[in-house]
Structure 1
Amino acid sequence: MKRQTVFLCLAALLFAAIALAPGFYVNLLAYVGLYSLVAVGLVLLTGVAGVTSFGQAAFVGIAAYTTAVMTTTFGLSPWLSLPACLALSGLSAWILGAITFRLSGHYLALGTMAWGLGLFYIMGDVAALGGHTGIPGVPRLPLDLLYEYSGRWYAVLIWAVAISVIIAIERILASRKGRAIRALKSGQQMAESFGVNTYTLKIQIFVFTGLVAGLAGWLYAHYIGFVNPTPFGIYASIEYLFMAVLGGAGYVWGAVLGAGIITLLRHWLQDVLPLVLGRSGNFDIVVLGVILMLVLHRARNGIAPVLARYVRSTPKEPPQGITRLMPRRSQPDPAAPLLELSGVTRKFGGLVAVNQLSFSLKNGEILGLIGPNGAGKSTTFNLVTNVLAPTSGEVRYAGQRIDGTGMRNIARLGIARTFQHVQLVSDRSVLENVALGAYLHGKRGLTSAALRLDQNEEAGLLAAAAAQVRRVGLADKMHEAAGSLALGQQRLIEVARALVTGPTLLLLDEPAAGLRHLEKQQLAQLLKDLREDGVSILLVEHDMDFVMNLVDRLVVMNFGEKLASGEPRQIRNNPSVIEAYLGGEAA
């Protein structure tokens, strides 16, 4: 069944249930809609971007308390309090995110837990906020201006907001910014290499999810008519996270599924368990936890991926009639070296990985960097692309010193790379992975994507990505998941992603590894064509036949030092090179 058909049918069933179901179930549906709003933010933040947050309930509380104070103490209309609720929740997310995202690993998750607990205790201890007793008498939304008040209209409003937010997030994830967000979880180094400011992007996502949680808090306060700290504590944040994970952390509509299952299951257990186990103790929490573990044991990625197998999603074809590639960069002075390394050294404690390395790469040339395993080739790549900073020495590009300028600036200069260990968003299509390389050629942000104001820009970016997919010979794999392809084909995806940046200098780290003989021949011809187009290439490769028949010059490394340099025929007969590869006795 097509995805659009499924969505329309489910939406129709939902609003029919709100209109016809008994009041108790309408109330439950309203709660599911509120919880879905918060959970869908966690799908974006945790499931897609890979940032675990245990404090989302605090943003719900900030907005709920803001509107409660403004409407009960100052007598403002609930509609007038909404901008203040969003402003405070967004500002809080920005401040906390700016601090928290300087942490990494489990410290990041613990940081979100710490400020979530802090805000919870502030809500309970400040007398002006009613302490742990809370603030009663929060007015209902004046829906009676249009209709006679009914809880059903609240449920309709809540679900209209929830569906709008979910659609906006889906649009964001299908955009240039969305591809960058997905790349965060797969590898920040990879995202930064194509010009993504990962720190700023994380804060933008965090603020967005804070705003969504704030919107849920405003709706919650006026639906319940009362606020106290309990629904905004750490337990509530963990429950929201459970909803996202159970539904399917990488699936936007999974948030609705997870929120619905946990909400309905919890209410059912609260009715049934007291009849079986008595009314003392919170057995519903224990049983709910056991059920969730059993479900996740059978479907570790959540329920949405299981159901998605039965829903057809038609791949979106690249726009037709748009054949332009990315704008060509201005070419550096052809008489001067394009890339120069002068006395570059990199130490890791007592280990010298690269030692006093010096070489240059000319404009329009393919330079091979070879050597035994552990010679320092990939470290050299990382020094050129600013993944690592040299301990001493200089790296210059087109006469400009570039060491220490950051990976994002390297991408802006026109340097693109592939990786020794393939770095792709494995569950996304080949086209989407390649389109990440065009990130710097777009300007539209999250708001434009959510409102579909970026369609012309997206058309150009996807057309450029599709052209490079065809160029590397993967046209028939364009809509397949990148992770389902063979290793050699995944390396070609990385080559296409680098090409879509429109590079002047292309750094390829073992691009022929995993390719069959014919595929290697096609890759060699592609690289020769790129050289003719004015693209300079620095190549690390272990296949000597591939290298010797391709490159203009070679630099040989051994134990972090330059062992020899020259044309392939000179290197082939160099005794020091033969000894380094085969050993003195064998030589």
Structure 2
Amino acid sequence: MIRHLPLAAFVALLAAGPQWLPEFHITLLNYIGLYAIVAIGLVLLTGVGGLTSFGQAAFVGLGAYTTAWLTTQFGYSPWATLLIGLALTGAVAFLLGFITLRMGGHYLPLGTIAWGISLYFLFGNVEFLGGHTGITGIPTVSLLGWELKSGDEFFYLIWLVVLLAILGVRNLLDSRQGRAIRALKGGGVMAEAMGVNTPRTKIVIFLIAALLACLSGWLYAHLQRFVSPTPFGINMGIEYLFMAVVGGIGHVWGAVLGAGLITVLKQWLQDWLPHILGQSGNFEVIVFGIAMVLVLQKARDGLWPVLLRLLPASARQRRLVDAEALPRRSPAAAGSVLLTAEGVTKRFGGLVANNNMSLSVQAGEVMALIGPNGAGKSTMFNCISAVNPASEGKIAFLGESTAKLRSRDIARRGMSRTFQHVRLLGQMSVLENVAIGAHLRGSKGVLAAALRLDRGEENRLLAEAAKQIERVGLKEHMFDAAGSLALGQQRIVEIARALASDPCLLLLDEPAAGLRYQEKQALAELLRKLRGEGMGILLVEHDMDFVMGLADRVVVMEFGEKLAEGEPEAVQRDPKVLEAYLGGVE
């Protein structure tokens, strides 16, 4: 109850604001609210999802111009134009996102700048939209018979939308879908391997950010009752991103802080800089540039995390509730073939990383893939899990060819894996990281998450994650940030994450690296137990004592080719293996 007091106080102050604040301050708060709605979308898109956009002002313009044109030219109800504007913005955002989000690196922000400029000039050069003169005479909005004519009256609607946007986005991030969104920033390879449809997830957060911007534009148009292209240019798109970054790009409340800080600072600078410098001009832009550099230098995560650090530390453990166990897949029959790879070749240009590799893994066995550094073991793993599909050869999982399957498709069929280089989301807790592995065992969508209708499923997913964490011996670290753990413990977290998907085939890439002797013994015991439950395990490892004491069969690789295969004792005596590892039998 106590943790909700700051929010209650904030809402109470907002409710009382129009009763005691001057009209100028109410106007300023209205603009802060409008900007905050857009910045909240950017927190989701850029701060959490890692997709930089400079074009959000164009979506604000779409919402504003849609309602302005339809209400003044055709007499549509403002509420009807809101629905039409959201539908139009959604369609445009889907098209632009489908094209733009395929680009990576610096091409993505450049792409958003391009269509942001294009839409801005569209607003200014289309005659029926009023050109650069704009559209006047936009009607007021009525809410339950209450006509919102003044800024004081509109204030409540704007801030109601802000609070609802915050609530919806926070609910979304605290869910299965939210973990999928957070996984985007950790790289698509890990997310796809856990079953996350990364292209669809990117489109979803792009649409949400665009729709929030459209809603802000609709509110702006009916607050001002006039629109022109100027507020929807690329400079405003950059300013929205500034707000999100300064406030705290990964924090929803940071969007409100950033919007408030930059709006107030901008107003103050516009009033005082001409008096200080003795001449007029856009000098505030220079100050903003300097301030942005300082913020990025001193507080890269924004100002909201700085404020949080000043407050008394509070326990952040989430309460786990008893929940019904998730359904499990039927185990494969002992000895049945789970995976076959025949003649697998992988080329990277002129480099042949794997050449004519073949192996198989059965249910209830541990198959070890060993070899010197650079032998192509991890590349073979990536071919099997479709991270980097093979150039030639055949790979079949559960009797089905994987040639046309993506990583997430293979994960859905029951294959899970860890990585040679640990891929965890360091700022998220161990519990949340492991819960990503159970992504495919849930089905609730974005809307259910935003409306908090997914709690039953969410409790079951978290209970499964907690079960796997306890299974691998990390119960005491369940609520610790994954990035705070030692490297060996992080590898164990990856195993727990893979187990949360309920696989029938487990691919482990150097799981014992960084573990102490007792930890290795505990890991070996866990893998023996999994083998006894009928799970197939394909293992890449350099610790020969660990491998030879655990594996049922061993495949040795050298220079991308199979050098030997057999039971551990036979492989250890093979002259070719001794040559590869020790330089000769003698």
TM range (shorter): over 0.9
One-letter code of the match for 2:198?
Answer: T
Distance in 1 separating the partners of 2:231 and 2:147: 30
Q: Does 1:466 align with 2:466?
A: yes
TM-superposed CA distance for 1:357, in Å, is 0.7
Measure the CA separation in 2 of the matches of 1:13 and 1:366.
Answer: 63
* SS of residue matched to 2:345: strand
| Partner in structure 1 of residue 577 of structure 2 | 577
TM-superposed CA distance for 1:317, in Å, is 3.6
Letter in 1 for 2:535: V
- Shift of the 219–387 alpha-carbon distance from structure 1 to 2, 3 Å rule, reads same
Q: Which residue of 1 aligns with 2:170?
A: 170
Q: Aligned-pair RMSD on alpha carbons?
A: 1.6
Measured after TM superposition, the shift of residue 64 of structure 1 is 0.2
Per-residue CA distance 1:216-245 (angstroms, 9 max, x = gap): 000000001110011111001000001011
Where do 1:2-401 residues align within 5 Å? 3-142=3-142, 145-146=145-146, 149-309=149-309, 310=311, 312=313, 314-317=315-318, 319-322=320-323, 324=325, 326-401=326-401
For residues 234 and 98 of structure 2, what CA distance do their matches in structure 1 show?
21
1:578: Cα distance to partner? 1.5
Aligned mates of 2:42, 2:82 — CA distance in 1: 22
Q: What code does the residue aligned with 2:321 have?
A: Q
Amino acid at match of 1:537: I
Residues 65-122 of structure 1 show CA distances to partners (whole Å, capped at 9, x for unaligned) of: 0100111111222222211111111111111111112222211111111111110000
Pair 109,2 (structure 1): closer, same or farther in 2 beyond 3 Å: farther
Maintained 8 Å contact 1:246/1:292: yes
Which residue does 2:507 correspond to in 1? 507
The answer for unaligned runs of 5 or more in structure 1 is none
Contact 1:86 1:211 in 2 (8 A): yes
Kept in 2, the 8 Å contact 1:2–1:313? The answer is: no
CA shift at 1:189, angstroms?
A: 0.7
The answer to whether the 8 A contact 1:318-1:463 is kept is no
**TM-score, normalisation: structure 2:** 0.97
Query: Is contact 1:2–1:311 with CA below 8 Å preserved after alignment?
Result: no
Match of residue 563 from structure 2? 563
Do the aligned residues in 2 keep the contact of 1:506 with 1:538 (CA within 8 Å)? yes
CA distance 1:476–1:271, shift in 2 (3 Å): same
Contact 1:323/1:467 (<8 A) preserved: no
Mapped contact 1:381–1:507 kept (Cα < 8 A): yes
Alignment match, 2:517:
517
TM-score by length of 1: 0.97
Q: Using the alignment, how far apart are the partners of 2:222 and 2:547 within structure 1?
A: 69
Structure 1 equivalent of residue 432 of structure 2: 432
Displacement of 1:296: 2.6
String of CA shifts for 1:508-563, please: whole Å, max 9, x gaps: 00111111111111111111110111111000011111111111111110000111
Letter in 2 for 1:422: V
**How far does residue 332 in structure 1 lie from its aligned partner after superposition?**
3.7
SS of corresponding position for 2:393: strand
Structure 1 CA distance, aligned partners of 2:119 and 2:529?
A: 60
Q: What per-residue deviation string (whole Å, max 9, x for no partner) do you get for residues 296-318 of structure 1? A: 32111100111122265543545
Of residues 145-154 and 429-438 in structure 1, the stretch that sits farther from structure 2 once superposed is 145-154
Q: Which moved more, 1:287-296 or 1:32-41?
A: 287-296
Contact 2:334–2:534 (CA under 8 A) maintained in structure 1 = no
* CA shift digits 1:418-449 (9 cap, x unpaired): 00001111111100000011111111111001
3-state secondary structure, aligned to 1:405: coil
Q: For residues 361 and 572 of structure 2, what CA distance do their matches in structure 1 show?
A: 20
| Comparing 329-338 and 523-532, the one that deviates more | 329-338
| SS, match of residue 73 in structure 1 | helix
Letter in 1 for 2:84: A
For 2:351, give the aligned amino acid.
L
Instruction: Give SS of 2:437's match.
Output: helix
Take 1:387 and 1:148, find their aligned partners in 2: how far apart are those partners?
55
Higher mean displacement: 566-575 or 539-548: 566-575
Deviation at 1:319, TM superposition (A): 3.4
Q: Which secondary structure does the structure 2 equivalent of 1:403 belong to?
A: coil
How many aligned residue pairs are there? 585
Between the aligned partners of 1:255 and 1:312, the Cα distance in structure 2 is 22
Partner Cα separation in structure 1 for residue 147 and residue 89 of structure 2: 30
Give, in whole Å, the separation in 1 of the partners of 2:148 and 2:227: 25
- Tell me, yes or no, if the aligned pair for 1:469 and 1:478 is still in contact at 8 Å: yes
- CA gap of 1:2–1:540, structure 2 versus 1, over 3 A, is farther
Name the structure 2 match of 1:454: 454
Distance in 2, Cα, partners of 1:539 & 1:570: 18
Contact map agreement 2:141 2:147 (CA 8 A) in 1: no
Cα separation, 2, equivalents of 1:120 and 1:67:
16
Deviations 1:445-470 (A, max 9, x none): 11001111111111111111110011
Q: Is the 8 A contact 1:194 1:437 kept in 2?
A: yes
| Contact 1:318–1:462, Cα closer than 8 Å, also in 2 | no
Partner Cα separation in structure 2 for residue 409 and residue 313 of structure 1? 41
Shift of the 169–18 alpha-carbon distance from structure 1 to 2, 3 Å rule, reads same
Is this contact kept in 2: 1:318–1:459, CA < 8 A? no
Q: CA deviation at 1:396?
A: 1.3
- The alpha-carbon deviation at position 278 of structure 1 amounts to 2.6
Residues 143 and 149 in structure 1, CA contact (< 8 A), matched pair in contact too? no
Q: Is contact 1:394-1:403 (8 Å) kept?
A: yes
**Which segments of 5 or more consecutive residues in structure 2 lack a partner in the other structure?**
none
Q: Is the 8 A contact 1:384 1:403 kept in 2?
A: no
1:371-429, CA deviations, whole angstroms, 9 ceiling, x for partnerless residues?
Answer: 00000000000000001111111111222211331111110110000000011111111
